[in-house]
Amino acid sequence: MRPWVYALIAALLNTCSETPPLLDQIRERGELRVVTRYSPTTYEIGPEGPQGLEFDLVKGFAEELGVTLVIDTVDAVSEVLPKLLAGEADMAAAGLSVTDSRRDFVDFGHPYATSDMHLVYRLGTGRPRGIADLVGRQIEVVAGSSHADMLASLAAQFPGLEWKETADAEVAELLEKVAKGEIDYTIADSTIFNIQRHFYPELRVALDLRVADPVAWAFPKGSDRLLALADDYLIRARRQGTLAQIEDRYYGHVERFDYVGTRAFIRHYKGRLPQYRKLFEQAGEAYGIDWRLLAAIGYQESHWRPQAVSPTGVRGIMMLTRATAEYLAIEDRVDPASSISGGAQFFAEQLERLPESVPQPDRTWMALAAYNVGFLHLMDARRIVEWQGGDPDSWIDVSETLPLLARERWYSKVDHGYARGWEPVLYVDNIRNYYNIICWLTENEAESEALETLE
């Protein structure tokens, strides 16, 4: 949305009669109304309900205020500030970059994150060396975004620069268009790019248009008391490690990107998984586990190869040890049905063995680590976390102490000795990536099937 539209809305609001301070209104009604975007980096509906970095953060803020959180989602970034300025929300938690044009109409709180602004292209189409190379090329960005503002500022220096602004698509859709060759370039913040590049491994960063953009919550002008409380909450969340835990929950697994490995995974998803998908689905139903997570474990273990054998003697799709197979009464570890069912049972048992105090999704990540390194070694790592004053129920804390099990200074103090503690950390990260890609691929399958039915 253009700045003059914000100005018009603000002018209309200024004609209204004087109202009580916003914080008083929130406490009076017992609700904090928040507008956000439906996006992987902000808010979405997951298997267990609402989730997302913005959702988790603002939920904690509402609890601190002692009020109920009411979420209002919009599909496009251009719809966020109009909702806020029209009084339909008390604040915006939508992954908004702090820009001068937005500051004219809203107040921003303390930045809780930063994001780089990438110009993205498709591998093999020629990487631009500078902005001048963009002249005459197809560029599409989200309307009303900081990306559109950036192009407008660049156009002053490069008069031939042209682009299209779209109000009915989000950045993820524009990245897909670049990957398919439908447009030459788009602009994406590093947070969404780091997620989407796993789905489209051909995408590359051409240029960094801006680095370390501050990201913050937005508030109506004059809501100083509410903004001050939000700032205090976010500063404490950073200092106490709560923000780091939330960031790890959603982004901790996307930092390491393997272009070749991702392309191979998508190829194997199409070529190998169909043979075993039904077995994963049946095992998931039998043990109450998302079959896509079991499939991700299977890929990490064996790349879905039933005859796989490791140098240490573990075998099959789920790479069961001889001792584990005997415990599960499995006679043939390379039989796909037996291996997948056994792996699902063994993983379910790791979930059950963890203390009830461990919440999701940390519970799943710890159970995966136990599947890899052994439950008792995981408990040793949790004990080290306690010694260091951390939270043993937090995966981010446990993941930092697991590698210590390979150091004599630490493994000599715990009950079960040495372990290659860095391996389960990488193991969990890989499975989280594979799981996200499988979810994305299967959801796209469902959409395609629905369209075919309509046709």
**pLDDT tens digits along 396-412:** 999 999 999 988 899 99
Query: What pLDDT band is residue 5 in, cutting at 50, 70 and 90?
Result: low
For residue 275, what pLDDT is reported?
97
CA 166 to chain centre: 24
For residue 352, what pLDDT is reported?
97
Q: Are 66 and 233 in contact (CB under 8 A)?
A: no
- List the catalytic residue out of 247, 301, 423, 447: 301
CA distance 279 to 272: 13
CA distance 273 to 299: 9
Write out the chain in H/E/C secondary structure: CCHHHHHHHHHHHHCCCCCCCHHHHHHHHCEEEEEEEEECCCEEEECCEEECHHHHHHHHHHHHHCCEEEEEEECCHHHHHHHHHCCCCCEEEEEEECCHHHHCCEEECCCCEEEEEEEEEECCCCCCCCHHHHCCCCEEEECCCHHHHHHHHHHCCCCCCCCEEECCCCHHHHHHHHHCCCCCEEEEEHHHHHHHCCCCCCEEEEEEEEEEEEEEEEEECCCHHHHHHHHHHHHHHHHCCHHHHHHHHHHCCCCCCCHHHHHHHHHHHHHCHHHHHHHHHHHHHHHCCCHHHHHHHHHHHHCCCCCCECCCCCECCCCECHHHHHHCCCCCCCCHHHHHHHHHHHHHHHHHHCCCCCCCCHHHHHHHHHHHHCHHHHHHHHHHHHHCCCCCCCHHHHHHHHHHHHCHHHHCCCCCCCCCCHHHHHHHHHHHHHHHHHHHHHHHHHHHHHHHHHC
**What torsion, rounded to 10 degrees, do the Cα atoms 14, 17, 21, 22 define?**
-60
For residue 195, what pLDDT is reported?
86
Does residue 311 carry a pLDDT above 80?
A: no
CA distance 317 to 340: 7
CA distance 308 to 321: 12
Does residue 198 carry a pLDDT above 90?
A: no
- Based on the residue annotation, tell me whether 301 is a catalytic residue of this protein: yes
For residue 10, what pLDDT is reported?
52
CB contact set of 18 (below 8 Å; sequence gap of 6+) = none
Burial status of residue 281 (CB atoms within 10 A of its CB: 0-12, 13-18, 19 or more):
middle
Q: Are 112 and 83 in contact (CB under 8 A)?
A: no
**What torsion, rounded to 10 degrees, do the Cα atoms 280, 285, 288, 290 define?**
40
Q: Are 189 and 213 in contact (CB under 8 A)?
A: yes
Residue 101: count of CB within 10 angstroms of its CB: 14
257: left (phi over 0), alpha (psi -120 to 50) or beta: beta
Query: Mean pLDDT for the chain?
Result: 91
CA distance 255 to 234: 23
Does residue 9 carry a pLDDT above 60?
A: no
For residue 257, what pLDDT is reported?
63
Does residue 455 carry a pLDDT above 60?
A: no
Does residue 15 carry a pLDDT above 80?
A: no
For residue 4, what pLDDT is reported?
41
Q: Are 436 and 200 in contact (CB under 8 A)?
A: no
Tell me how many degrees the CA angle 251-280-423 measures, rounded to the nearest 5: 45
Query: What pLDDT band is residue 19 in, cutting at 50, 70 and 90?
Result: confident
The stretch 343-358 carries a mean pLDDT of 97
Does residue 1 carry a pLDDT above 70?
A: no
List, for residues 144-165, the tens digit of each pLDDT value: 899 999 999 999 999 999 999 9
For residue 13, what pLDDT is reported?
52
Tell me the residue length of the chain.
Answer: 455
List, for residues 271-290, the tens digit of each pLDDT value: 999 999 999 999 999 999 99
The stretch 129-143 carries a mean pLDDT of 96
CA distance 290 to 29: 39
Does residue 386 carry a pLDDT above 80?
A: yes
Residue written as tokens 């938690």?
93
For residue 449, what pLDDT is reported?
55
List, for residues 64-122, the tens digit of each pLDDT value: 999 999 999 998 888 999 999 999 999 999 999 999 999 999 999 999 999 999 999 99
The stretch 372-386 carries a mean pLDDT of 97
Does residue 183 carry a pLDDT above 80?
A: yes
Does residue 12 carry a pLDDT above 70?
A: no
Q: Are 286 and 344 in contact (CB under 8 A)?
A: yes
CA distance 397 to 381: 9
CA distance 269 to 215: 36
For residue 18, what pLDDT is reported?
61
Query: What pLDDT band is residue 7 in, cutting at 50, 70 and 90?
Result: very low
Residue predicted with more confidence, 448 or 395: 395
